[in-house]
């Protein structure tokens, strides 16, 4: 084992242009943790929000003046190279996938909690596996929250990004009939995933009322009443993403959703997806048997991490962006 590693760090909150490659000691795994040699790391809109410290609400959680962990990258595929105390059920040399909510994946080595690891099947390449934890895990949890099942009609608003491309595929796999919005340039891609595409300039208020069992809101920013109007009696709207204010981000919209839902049988639920190793394992199995296909727009080498972050920061990712770290 070498003693030092390369890592991409930010000194303070700010754009991707401020991220620098540095040499650091390889971290030691603590109790219940493993050390991973990182093979691939996929990026998410969430990495950019933490990198920018935007909305300001993220700063009390991730660090007031600068991120406590200066290394971004939450979705990691890697090889276990050392075990901390008290770790069982996983061995050195195992290939795993994990979500690191605080980041750390844009480095050659990263420490991860052993309980969060999912084994990577040999049939799933590291860069494909790394796309799954946050984007596909969130899509899965959004469909669970809205009870999407066989024969139901679901509308996915903002289907061309990481969460959206997985949500379309997973809803179709559950037997749902999927409508989805995206811009004209992404129409063919989203249709290819199994959705009937509605142009994103079509305002939800102009779609037929009560025509869906579930609406998954990822990016439209449409008024909540307009979204709720689209679902049938007993149906639900799940809020996954979208821009909010500079200070509180999505929180005011989440509070309005709770108020609107009180006493209503058309609920608007705000999703806070959590790392779930058992869901990740099921997603890996779906990819291994060819039923789920991570859509990767761009692959970057470890030397080009700042460019990869800048691309996601621009907000027009189609599917996923992945960094090959080693191997």
Ligand X SMILES: NC(=O)c1ccc[n+]([C@@H]2O[C@H](COP(=O)([O-])OP(=O)(O)OC[C@H]3O[C@@H](n4cnc5c(N)ncnc54)[C@H](OP(=O)(O)O)[C@@H]3O)[C@@H](O)[C@H]2O)c1
| Tokens 């789920």 -> residue | 292
Q: CB–CB of 207/197 below 8 Å? A: no
What x/- string results for residues 187 through 226 when contact with ligand X is judged by CB under 6 A? Answer: -------------x-----------------xxx------
Name which of 106 and 114 has its Cβ closer to ligand X.
Answer: 106
**Which value, in Å, is the radius of gyration of the alpha carbons in the chain?**
20
By CB under 6 A, residue 169 contacts ligand X: no
Residues 299-318 that bind ligand X (CB under 6 A): 312, 315-318
> Exposed (0-12), middle (13-18) or buried (19+): which is 97, by Cβ within 10 Å?
buried
Name which of 91 and 199 has its Cβ closer to ligand X.
Answer: 199
Which tokens sit at 126? 């590291």
By CB under 6 A, residue 161 contacts ligand X: yes
Exposure string over 1-13, b if 16+ CB within 10 A, otherwise e: eeeebbbbbbeeb
By CB under 6 A, residue 134 contacts ligand X: yes
By CB under 6 A, residue 241 contacts ligand X: yes
By CB under 6 A, residue 68 contacts ligand X: no
In 3D, which of 38, 240, 75 has the Cα closest to residue 158?
240
By CB under 6 A, residue 138 contacts ligand X: yes
By CB under 6 A, residue 272 contacts ligand X: yes
Residues 13-42 that bind ligand X (CB under 6 A): none
**Minimum distance of ligand X from residue 311's CB (angstroms):** 9
Sole window of 31-39, 156-164, 224-232, 283-291 interacting with ligand X (rule: CB under 6 A): 156-164
Q: CB–CB of 160/188 below 8 Å? A: no
- Give the whole-angstrom CA distance, residue 283 versus residue 286: 5
How many Å separate Cα 313 from the centre of its chain? 14
**Minimum distance of ligand X from residue 218's CB (angstroms):** 5
By CB under 6 A, residue 160 contacts ligand X: yes
By CB under 6 A, residue 100 contacts ligand X: no
Exposure string over 43-75, b if 16+ CB within 10 A, otherwise e: bbbbbbbbbebbbebbbeebbeebbebbbbbbb
What is the binding site for ligand X (CB under 6 A)?
44-46, 134-135, 138, 158, 160-164, 181-183, 186, 200, 218-220, 240-242, 271-273, 312, 315-318
């Amino acid at each position: 084992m070498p003693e030092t590693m390369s890592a991409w760090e930010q000194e303070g909150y700010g754009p991707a242009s401020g991220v620098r490659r540095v040499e650091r000691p390889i971290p030691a795994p603590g109790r219940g943790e493993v050390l991973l040699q990182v093979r691939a790391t996929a990026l998410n809109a969430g990495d950019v929000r933490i990198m920018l410290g935007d909305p300001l609400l993220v700063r009390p959680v991730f660090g007031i003046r600068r991120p406590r962990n200066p290394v971004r990258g939450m979705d990691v595929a890697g090889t276990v190279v050392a075990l901390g105390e008290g770790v069982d059920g996983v061995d050195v040399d195992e290939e795993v996938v994990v979500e690191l909510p605080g980041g750390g994946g844009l480095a050659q080595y990263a420490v991860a909690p052993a309980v969060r690891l999912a084994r990577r099947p040999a049939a799933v390449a590291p860069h494909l596996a790394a796309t799954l934890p946050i984007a596909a895990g969130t899509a899965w949890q959004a469909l669970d929250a809205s009870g999407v099942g066989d024969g139901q009609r679901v509308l996915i608003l903002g289907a061309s990004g990481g969460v959206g491309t997985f949500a379309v595929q997973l809803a179709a796999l559950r037997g749902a009939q999927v409508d989805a919005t995206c811009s004209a340039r992404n129409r063919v891609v989203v249709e290819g995933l199994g959705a009937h595409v509605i142009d994103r300039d079509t305002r939800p208020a102009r779609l037929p009322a009560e025509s869906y069992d579930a609406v998954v809101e990822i990016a439209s920013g449409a008024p909540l009443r307009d979204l709720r109007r689209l679902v049938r009696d007993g149906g639900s709207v799940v809020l996954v993403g979208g821009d909010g204010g500079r200070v509180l981000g999505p929180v005011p919209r989440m509070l309005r959703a709770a108020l609107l839902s009180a006493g209503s049988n058309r609920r608007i639920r705000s999703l806070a997806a959590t790392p779930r190793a058992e869901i990740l394992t099921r997603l890996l199995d779906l990819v291994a048997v060819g039923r789920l296909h991570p859509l990767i727009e761009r692959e970057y080498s470890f030397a080009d991490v700042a460019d990869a972050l800048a691309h996601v920061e621009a907000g027009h990712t189609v599917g996923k962006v992945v960094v090959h770290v080693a191997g």
